[in-house]
Each structure stands twice: as C-alpha cells, then as structure tokens.
Chains A and B, each alone.
Chain A
Amino acid sequence: MTQPLLRVQDLTTRLATPRGMLQLVNNISFEVARGETLALVGESGSGKSLTALSVMGLLPAHARHPLTSKIMLDDINLLTLSEAQRQQIRGKKIGMIFQEPMTSLNPVLTIGDQIGEVLYRHQGLRGQALKKRVIALLEAVHIPLAAQRANDYPHQLSGGMKQRVMIAMAIACEPDLLIADEPTTALDVTIQAEILKLLTELQRQSGMGLLLITHDLAVVAQVADTVAVMTQGKLVEQNTTAAFFAGPTHPYSQKLLAALPAFARESTSLVSKYPDLKAEKSPAADADKPLLDVRNLQVYFPIKTGFLRRAKSHLKAVDDVSLHIEAGKTLALVGESGSGKTTLGRSISQLIPATSGEVYFNGAAIHRLKSKALREYRRDIQFIFQDPFSAMNPRMMIQDLLEEGMLALHIEPEQRKRRARLYALLEYISLPRNSLSRYPHEFSGGERQRLCIARALAVNPKLIICDEPTSALDVTIQAQILDLLKDLQNELNLTYLFITHNLSIVPALAHEVAVMHLGKIVEQGATQQIFEQPQAAYTKSLLAAAPKLV
C-alpha cells in the first residue's frame, strides 16, 4: 500500500479554560489515503468537528496540542508549522466545506468573486484566465448557466446551490484532501442526495482524499470507504464501511446503529416490521368524526412592491390544502423546506391567520372564532417546536415555564394541585423533580425537548402539532423522543400532526402520511401504501433520495 495522504497520530486537543485544561479530543489516530473516503461519525460534542479544525489549523487560540500529537500531510507535520505556512496549505492542499452554506458565503460579494479570490491567492490567476477557471469550476459542480451565475450574489441562490458553490471554492486549487464538515445536514433530502453524488464524483475524478464528518450513518453507508466512530473525544471503532454495518463491535456503535429508524435500516417490506400498520384501515375509524378537519385552507402572503407598497402578487405558502386526522392517530406531514408545512401547522392553530378555508376541530369551526372564544380551544391544540433551545424563555425557571399555560387557561388554579400535576408531568418525561427550580440552559437538547413536550401536555391537549421535533437532535436522542411521543399517544390518546422532512422516521410513528410540495398536498394516504406504492412523481423522488444503509 502506498503512503497515506493524511495521517493523524495520537492527536490530543485541550482547551485552556479559566477552570483548567479541558481535554476534548483524546489520543486519536487515523489515516486517509488518496482517493479514499473516511467518515468520522459521532454525536454533537464528540470532538469530530474539533478534529477537522485541528487538521485545518483553525482551532481557537486557547487550544493546545501536546508534542506527541502529529498530523502528517504527506510528510509535513502540520502541527509544527507557523501560521503563515499553514495559510499556504489551507485552501491549496486542504479544502474545507462547512455545514451552513447560508453563513459561509459573504453576502456582499458575487459568487464568482469569492471563488476567484481563492484562485487569485493561491494560483495567481487573473483576468480572462481567472474568469474561465471560475466558470469551469461552477460547471464542475453542475451549476447550470455557470457564466451568468458567476455574477449572482449568494442570496439569489438556493441552499443546495450555495453548498455547490462552497464545494467549488474548496476544490478550486485541486486540493489533495477535502474536509467536509456535515456538508448535507442543513439541506433537504433530495438535495442531500445530489450533493453526495457530486462529492463522490469529484473525488473519483481527481483522486483526492475525503474526510467526511457526519452524524448521519445513512450518509456514511452511501459514500464512505472507512468509518471511524468517535464519542466523548475518543475513537472507539474504526473499520471498513461494509464490515462496520455488518457487525459493529463497540457497544456505542451498536447503539448508534440501533437508534436509526427502521426505514433507513432496511428498504424492504415495512409490513413485516410493523404488523399493526396493516390493521390501520379499520372501517370503524371512517365512521368516527375526525378530530381535525381542514378544508381548502389557503394562506397567502402578499408580496409588497412599488412606492406605496401595495400587494401586487401573493406568495402561496399553503394552497388549497385539505386533510383530516382521527382522534388518537398520527398524520405525518412530509415535505422539504419551503413547502409550506410549518405555515400549515401554525395556521391550523390560528397563530397565522388563514386567507381562506375552514378548520374544524372536534366539529367546531375554529377559523371563525375571535381571540376570546379561541382561547377555549387553545388548550386542545398544542405545539412542539423544532429547536428546543429557542422554544424556552432562557430567563424563566422550568416551573414557571410549565405552569404558564395552566395559569393562563385557569387549569388547576389551586397551587397544591398544580404542583402535583407538575410532578406528574415530570414523571411522564422521566426528569427528576428538582428540575422545576432550574433554568433551561442547565438541560441538554434532548431534555429540553422533553420539557417542551411537558409544557404542551400541561394543558391537557387533544391534538399536538409537532414541528420537526427531532431534527435538531442527535440520532440516539431522536429515537428516545420518538419513543416518548409514541408512549404518550398510547397512554393519553393523543393525536399528532407530525411535521417532518425526514422520511425515515415516518413509518415508525405515523398512521397516515400527507406529502406536501410547494404549498399543495401531492399525495395522501396510509403510511404503508405511500411507502410501498407511491403514486405522485414527487413522492417517488423523495423516497428514492432518502439515504439508506444498503
């Protein structure tokens, strides 16, 4: 075997904090060969991004490495280089792609200028040669009409396009090593598939080494040759991809793999896995009145232009949507970002006024109600938000947060009973009683999401609208939250409207699925039917793009 391109040896990273040294990465070693892809897998806080930053030399100033740590690129030890020397290597020999394409591009420069800057710095290109090379790069990452697009500003591009531009910048100087830090996490599933395809294609053409950092095992299965699993700063398992998925040896790897939703794990029949799905189409359910009945709902946002800012046209966020959910069932609303699914959820709970259409809840027309009368229904429809960090007021204690709705809606006005109820709620979400006198920042993301669920439950709702409740969470925690939601549904006979972009979690949870695209519902039906015989072309492309471990 030839010499590896990148060899990380006994890498330890410590941060100097006021309370002493904090060891974040602990003695890890791995190698990346030319033309090979190594996936560094781990949950947030496992030290995987820090490792990537060490390789790039972009660590914060108070980070330290012991002398035994080595990062060899070919035969240069990167850790011994000066900042000026590292700058020569960054961009030229190592390219990097970041997670957030929205914030990684400078909004006031055209994308052509930004790619050109890299070329000018490292290769000294200018004038026509520079322009040609920029266009060639944009074409290489499959941006249509590259010559015109080069003059666009970042805000004129979609998320996927921006990530392509980032990739173009990273490969501009034909680096030997490309580091991709969660390159597809912020992107929709169909776009994610395209970006991954692009990355593997580029790698094959140029024979670079690719260090892929991700938390998504399904992505790993598609792209990587070797997998390295990190947890709490340590490398616990390293193996070829095939061997890893066939039988992970370390308990943490097994846990990671087990936490993957069933859909991603196997692409064959769902019915065998979930026999109860089959019995879903009970005729009795049809006779029941649905708990939520949405008819021809439209939500338009005016696009104001011109001097007097009159509404010239409308953005049809939700366009003529009808759906219904029966009591005790879960409807999954699936769609990519911008499809209007969040707007639909908020419009159902009357947080956003509908332009037209009807919403019936338990037979009552709540779209006609004004604020006073609407308050009666507030307790019945509750929300769980995507980001548990912004969903709780950081300056309120958990007790105040959980009590807020009870006080506002006069549930359990007596203090002693209210306290008992708070304890009961904490028991549901399995958090200790002393959580009540703590602040949100003392809890982890998963615990916060549990608290958000408890807050929603506090007012005895019938319907809970879950807006991407797990997409901000790590995969093992995601599984816990989904289990909790399922348990609560069985116990309290809750009804869920589950809004998500992640197809893989749908089968485990939802009885019915509605697929939304550009404000319209393109397909709706029982989960099994949608997953096994999708009718609409869009549903088919969604299913095809979802990453699987095959």
Chain B
Amino acid sequence: MTFKFVLLWTDLLVFILVALLLAFSIWAKRQDSWRRPLRKVFRRKISVVSAVILSTYVLIGLLDSVHYQPALPQENATDQIHYDVEVKSVLDKLLSPLDEQFETSYSAPFAHQLHVQDAVKQADGSIVYQHQRLQYAATHLSNPEAEKRHDILVRSLKGVAWGLLILLLVTILLVLYLSHQKKQNVLATSKQLVAGKMDYPYLTMLLTLGIVILLASVSACLATHYHIFGTDKVGEDVFYQALKSIRTGLVIGTVSTLVMLPFAIILGVMAGYFRGRIDDGIQYLYTTLSSIPGVLLIAAAILMLQVFMSTHPDLFASNAQRADLRLLILCVILGVTSWTSLCRLLRGESFKLREMDYVQAANNLGVSHVTILKKHIVPNVMHIVLITLVLDFSGLVLAEAVLSYVGVGVDPTMFSWGNMINSARLEMAREPVVWWSLCAAFIFMFTLVLFANFFADSVRDAFDPRLQDA
C-alpha cells in the first residue's frame, strides 16, 4: 500500500521536543549537578510509577503524531495515484477498524444494541419502537443476552494471558539487561530484583508496567468485538476518541511550555541581572499582561483565527491541517499568556545570583554580560525552570478542557477531552443518562494529570535546594 507522509506543524514540534528531551537526558547524565537529583527522582517508587504511566501516554501520543494520507484504490494500474483527503496516523492504523466503524447513535459500554429506541416498520405495516442491534459490536453472538457475559469473560481471560506472556518477556529482557550491566549471573540478579535490593525500584517499575500491559491487552482483545466505552451521538467509539485525545492533551501541555520558555527565561534573567531600565520595562510588560484575563486574550485570538480560516479555505489541504493550525495557535497563545509567573520567579532568582561572589568575580575577570548570563546565571536557575515546567504541565492539560468547554479551545472536529466533556453537557441531561463519554474523558485525563502531579512533586523535592538535606 502506498501512502504519503504528512508532517503537521504540531507533529514537528512534538518531535523536536522529544529530541530535545533525549538530548537533555543524555547531557544531564554527564553533569554531576543534574545526575544526582535525577537519580534521586528515580529512586522514589511513586515517581517510577508515574514515569511508566506518563511514558505510556507519551508513546500513544507519539504514535498518533506520525501522520500519513493513504492512497485511494486505483481503478487501473496506470492511473495517477490519488490520496485520501483524510489524514490518518499510525495510531489509527493500530486501532483500526475502530476509526471507521460508526454505529448510528449512542450505545452503552459493552452493549449489543443501541441506547435509544428507533421506530421500525414491521412487515404488517405497524410501527414498533425497539432497540436496534449494533452494526459492529457483538455481531458474532446470535443470542447476545445469554452469551455476552460468558464471551466477555473468555475474551478478558485471553487478554490477561496475552498480557502475562508479554510481561514475562519484558521481565526476562530486563533481567538479562541488568545482569549484563552488573556483570553477574541471571539468578543473582533475579534474587536481588525480587528482594528489592537494586539501586532503582525495578520491581515497582515491572508491576506498573504489568498493570499497563494487562489493561492494554485486555482492552485490545475486547475492543475488536465490543465498544468498551460505548459510542457517542454519531456512533463513534468513545474508547477510540479518548485515546486520540491523548495527543491533544500532550501537545497542549508541552508545546505551550516550549513557547513560554524563551520568553520566561530570557526576559526573567535579563530583568534580574541588568536591573534598572531593562528591569522596569520587562516588569511593566508582565504586570500588564498578567492583569488581562487570559481567557479574554485566548478567545480573541481564536476568534480572529476562525475568521481568517473561513476567509482563506484554499490555504488548507485537509481538515486535519485546519484543526492542527488551530491547536498550534492555541498552544502559542496559552504560552504567551502563561510565561509571566515563571519570569517573575527567574527575575527574583537572578537578582539574588547577580550579587553572588562568583558573578562579581566573573565581572572582574572581564567576562562579557552575555557569557555571564549564559554560564553563570542560566545554569543556576534551570532547576526552577524544570520544577515549573512539570508543575505547569498538568495545569495546561486542564486549561485545554476548560477552554474547549467554553468554546474557544481546539477545533470541534479534533478529538480532545475538552470537546468530549463539552458534548457531555447535553448527554447528562438525557433520560436515560449517557454517562460514558464524560466518564472516559475523566478517567484518561485524571490519570494523566494525577501522575504528572506525582512526578512533578518528586522532581521538585529532588531539585529544590531548600529540601536538599531533608
């Protein structure tokens, strides 16, 4: 099958970010001043758990960031190849056919029929209201009411078996790797691992990984035959939507910080170091900016963008690109409105650092201001930057939900937890109530934000100099 790669703007930024993260971790491993606190982070069980779960999210987000347009089937071999206007990602491919199986309307999790009753014309001409069978779920069962429970159990057990097999494989690989690294035999390593006598809590890592793998394999075995989180109004699988929303959440959380960083670091450090007029100017800028309600600025920017997009429809090759641009602009505007607090922190810190003797000594050695900022000030405020970044991440994911709820968030066609929650407004008012959309969005977002916060706490504890001795 032929296809064409599509590189969306946010894809590019996501890849740059991942590359930066990798480069940073390799660099930090060599720097003593970074290695020690990082080691401290990964010695804590809770942060290892968080790291495994966050990595799962990131992996899904990355898979969802490789986009392509599949070729349309050709009528003759000589025809020019046409590509589908719909942009797909690797995640879609993995989850297929979830992305193409649309029921006609709402259906509850694991249901075999629609949530609502439809009017069906009988052969004798009378009209009967009844629940229709679903087109894609539980179709293999002839008598779903009787067989479904048993079928779900069997499939779950199959999923668990697969999961355990994968887990076993992972464990063996880990033990082999560790014994290779420590240059000791496999048995000794396994004993240490089970006794928890390793440098890092590998056992905790394996257990968390086990839970993640089991959840994944069970849902993989079930999702092919059931809608495990039900379907939404247009009949789309909610589990699929929730998975696709991960990328949106991650992009908002990370790209916004990427936009914010240069503002915060450069302006904050300059204000603190140079003082005087420069400081006054930067202070005025951020006091003004932080006194305008952020939502107002974001709404204005998004509305302007909407007008621009509707007047220039020819600029966008596909819907995905339109939605992507809107996401990017949202990230930028979130970044621009949120740099002030970090900037303020950095200003204060550099203000303190500039009076340190080593900065005075550098001054006296004739080192230029730019070099002093680069070598003495910025490296010594980086721990604050790191702490703020991880703490802000979860806030930004939540901000997306709030903004989409208000209607100035991401494009309505884009999958996001905010959009799911927004549509749940009407679903909650139905009778009988449609609860699964909100529930799925909540579970996925809650897990991400919770573990991001746990991780942020560990990072702060490890890097905060005031907590160093405790």
Question: Which residues of A does B touch, CB under 8 Å?
Answer: 346, 349, 351, 375, 378-379, 381-383, 385-387, 390-396, 400, 404-405, 408-409, 439, 452, 455-456, 459
> Contact between A351 and B364 (Cβ–Cβ < 8 Å)?
yes
- Closest A residue to B380 using CB positions: A395
| Residues in B314-368 with C-beta less than 8 Å from chain A | 356-358, 360-368
> Contact between B360 and A408 (Cβ–Cβ < 8 Å)?
no
A41 to B405 CA separation, bound complex (whole angstroms):
69
- Closest A residue to B382 using CB positions: A395
| Residues of B contacting A387 in the complex (Cβ-Cβ under 8 angstroms) | 357
- Closest A residue to B353 using CB positions: A393
| Residues of B contacting A382 in the complex (Cβ-Cβ under 8 angstroms) | 364-365
A404 to B364 CA separation, bound complex (whole angstroms):
11
| Residues in B113-155 with C-beta less than 8 Å from chain A | none
B32 in contact (CB, < 8 A): yes
Set A391, A394, A396, A404: member contacting B365, Cβ < 8 A: A404
Further contacts, 6 of them, CB under 8 A, given A349-B364, A393-B380, A408-B365: A382-B365, A391-B361, A394-B33, A396-B376, A405-B366, A455-B365
A351 to B362 CA separation, bound complex (whole angstroms):
11
> Contact between B366 and A392 (Cβ–Cβ < 8 Å)?
no
Set A351, A396, A404, A459: member contacting B360, Cβ < 8 A: A351
B375 in contact (CB, < 8 A): yes
Given A385-B361, A390-B357, also A396-B375 (CB < 8 A): yes
> Contact between A404 and B380 (Cβ–Cβ < 8 Å)?
no
- Closest B residue to A401 using CB positions: B358
Minimal beta-carbon separation of A294 from chain B (angstroms): 17
> Contact between A383 and B367 (Cβ–Cβ < 8 Å)?
no
| Residues of B contacting A385 in the complex (Cβ-Cβ under 8 angstroms) | 357, 360-361
A421 to B106 CA separation, bound complex (whole angstroms):
78
Given A351-B360, A383-B360, also A393-B365 (CB < 8 A): no
| Residues of A contacting B368 in the complex (Cβ-Cβ under 8 angstroms) | 408
> Contact between B376 and A393 (Cβ–Cβ < 8 Å)?
yes
B313 in contact (CB, < 8 A): no
A390 to B360 CA separation, bound complex (whole angstroms):
10
B432 in contact (CB, < 8 A): no
B293 in contact (CB, < 8 A): no
A395 to B37 CA separation, bound complex (whole angstroms):
13
B371 in contact (CB, < 8 A): yes
Q: Sorted from nearest, which 10 A-B pairs have the closest CB atoms?
A: A405-B365, A378-B366, A391-B357, A385-B357, A408-B367, A375-B366, A395-B379, A393-B358, A390-B357, A408-B366
A396 to B33 CA separation, bound complex (whole angstroms):
9
A179 to B364 CA separation, bound complex (whole angstroms):
43
| Residues of B contacting A378 in the complex (Cβ-Cβ under 8 angstroms) | 364-366
| Residues of A contacting B376 in the complex (Cβ-Cβ under 8 angstroms) | 393, 396
A404 to B376 CA separation, bound complex (whole angstroms):
11
Return the CB mask of B369-381 against A: 1 if under 8 Å, else 0. Answer: 0010001100110
Given A394-B380, A395-B33, also A409-B365 (CB < 8 A): yes
Minimal beta-carbon separation of B275 from chain A (angstroms): 13
> Contact between A392 and B364 (Cβ–Cβ < 8 Å)?
no
A225 to B379 CA separation, bound complex (whole angstroms):
51
Given A390-B356, A390-B357, A393-B358, also A383-B380 (CB < 8 A): no
A349 to B361 CA separation, bound complex (whole angstroms):
11
- Closest A residue to B378 using CB positions: A395
- Closest B residue to A459 using CB positions: B365
| Residues of A contacting B371 in the complex (Cβ-Cβ under 8 angstroms) | 408
- Closest A residue to B32 using CB positions: A439
Return the CB mask of B189-218 against A: 1 if under 8 Å, else 0. Answer: 000000000000000000000000000000
Most buried by B among A378, A391, A395, A459: A395
A392 to B379 CA separation, bound complex (whole angstroms):
13
A378 to B365 CA separation, bound complex (whole angstroms):
6
Given A396-B375, A408-B371, A439-B33, also A391-B364 (CB < 8 A): no
A387 to B355 CA separation, bound complex (whole angstroms):
13
> Contact between A405 and B367 (Cβ–Cβ < 8 Å)?
yes
Most buried by A among B360, B363, B366, B376: B366
Return the CB mask of B4-45 against A: 1 if under 8 Å, else 0. Answer: 000000000000000000000000000111000000000000
Set B32, B361, B379: member contacting A383, Cβ < 8 A: B361
A452 to B361 CA separation, bound complex (whole angstroms):
9
Most buried by A among B360, B362, B371: B360
A405 to B33 CA separation, bound complex (whole angstroms):
23
Most buried by B among A385, A456, A459: A385
A386 to B358 CA separation, bound complex (whole angstroms):
11
A409 to B367 CA separation, bound complex (whole angstroms):
8
> Contact between A409 and B366 (Cβ–Cβ < 8 Å)?
yes
| Residues of A contacting B362 in the complex (Cβ-Cβ under 8 angstroms) | 404-405, 408
Given A379-B366, A404-B367, A408-B365, also A392-B360 (CB < 8 A): no
A375 to B367 CA separation, bound complex (whole angstroms):
9
Set A383, A386, A400: member contacting B364, Cβ < 8 A: A383
Given A391-B358, A439-B32, also A381-B380 (CB < 8 A): no
| Residues of A contacting B380 in the complex (Cβ-Cβ under 8 angstroms) | 393-395
A405 to B364 CA separation, bound complex (whole angstroms):
9
29 residue pairs from A and B, CB less than 8 Å apart: A346-B360, A349-B364, A351-B364, A375-B366, A378-B366, A379-B366, A382-B364, A383-B360, A383-B361, A385-B360, A391-B361, A392-B358, A393-B379, A394-B33, A395-B31, A395-B379, A395-B380, A396-B375, A404-B362, A404-B365, A404-B367, A405-B365, A405-B366, A408-B366, A408-B368, A408-B371, A409-B365, A439-B32, A455-B365
| Residues in B59-76 with C-beta less than 8 Å from chain A | none
A58 to B376 CA separation, bound complex (whole angstroms):
38
- Closest A residue to B364 using CB positions: A383
> Contact between B364 and A381 (Cβ–Cβ < 8 Å)?
yes
- Closest A residue to B43 using CB positions: A18
A346 to B364 CA separation, bound complex (whole angstroms):
9
| Residues of B contacting A375 in the complex (Cβ-Cβ under 8 angstroms) | 366
- Closest B residue to A376 using CB positions: B366
| Residues of B contacting A439 in the complex (Cβ-Cβ under 8 angstroms) | 32-33
A375 to B371 CA separation, bound complex (whole angstroms):
15
| Residues of B contacting A390 in the complex (Cβ-Cβ under 8 angstroms) | 356-358
A379 to B357 CA separation, bound complex (whole angstroms):
17
Given A385-B357, A387-B357, A439-B33, also A393-B366 (CB < 8 A): no
- Closest B residue to A440 using CB positions: B358
- Closest B residue to A389 using CB positions: B357
